[in-house]
Amino acid sequence: MKRWFVGVLLTPILMGVAQADPAMNACILSKMATSDDTVTVGDIRAICSADISSQKQESFDPVTLPAVKRAEEQTISLDGDDATSIKTADGSALTRRLVLEKSQSNNPFAFLPHRPNYFIFSNNVASYNEAPFEASDPGNDYDFQPWESKFQISLKLPVVRGLFNNRADAFIAYTNRSFWQMFNNDNSQVFRDSNHEPEAWLSFANDTELFGFKNSLINVGFNHQSNGQSGELSRSWNRIFAEFVVEKGDFYFAVRPWYRIPERDSSDDNPDIEKYMGNFDFTSVYKYGDHSFDLMIRNNLRSDNKGATQLGWSFPLYKNFRGYVQWFNGYGESLIDYDHRINSIGFGIQFSDWL
């Protein structure tokens, strides 16, 4: 009823601007038919503006138009009158993601994608680390195969919005990454490792800008990661982190340093994990049309250099499904291998992207 009433009020206005901007008019009418009643007209206009801007940019020739200027910055309200307002460039991939999340998160029981969700078939060019398994069960011949499937499920839930004078939102999230020896019939198709990562954080809106790059978000929170095992196979650690999210158009990157919360020596399953997993990671994503390219770098910044690099490429495959290629080289692809170097490449399906 509310949507019908708002539509009646807006129809004369939309008809009046139809000749001036028919694409915007059509987009607003379409979004109104599918959006939640609590989504504001400003939210809908922001989504439509980002869609139209993206379509226009895809039609530009980067050779003949190398200096196409983006629209002026505007403030987008994510929560109506009581919203966290985020000032950002029109057409920004990050802003579009934030506005879309707001339009989908009015249901308190609705989870949102957090990190990418995917299912891929992966091949490890190096060898898997069987030493922890042999120490845990000396009589068992595991004989892990290089081919396995790897999948990630990552969801988040906004707990409270509009904190600290409408400058911050509180989130909780859970990420599961599993490594399944699905082709290893001789070894009962075991799950080689499953990593569980619950976390909670405060996300602060920001508009600090330098050389055209804008620090849009600052996240501060707590992160736990473990593999749910015991004895020789147990791996876990707790961290406090700060994450600085920077964007420029369709390019996004985040720097996340962390501090490991100390544990007692008697209960620490992996006292040297920082040596291999490092003390920060750098993640970047570039959107080019329907394609997305991501990079993750993790390092300890020590002379005895350890760390990891991961490259990903997602692309349209079929309707809502996207193809995904991922290459990983380094330490810590899974917790059981935190101190063992892995070099793997995989191909599969991605269900949600970073942006």
Catalytic residues: 224, 226
Q: Which two tokens stand for residue 286?
A: 């570039």
Angle (CA) 12-16-19 rounded to 5° is 140
Structure tokens at 271: 């006292």
**CB-facing half-sphere around the CA of 196: CA atoms within 13 A:** 8
Beta bridge mates, 314: 292, 324
**Biggest distance spanned by C-alpha atoms of the chain:** 79
Nearest Cα neighbor of 114 from 46, 28, 201 is 201
For residue 45, give Cα distances in angstroms to 27, 59, 137, 219: 8, 21, 60, 27
Query: CA-to-CA distance for 215 and 245, rounded, in angstroms?
Result: 6
Can you tell me the distance from the alpha carbon of 50 to that of 206, in angstroms, rounded to the nearest whole number?
20
Single-letter amino acid code for the residue at 331: Y
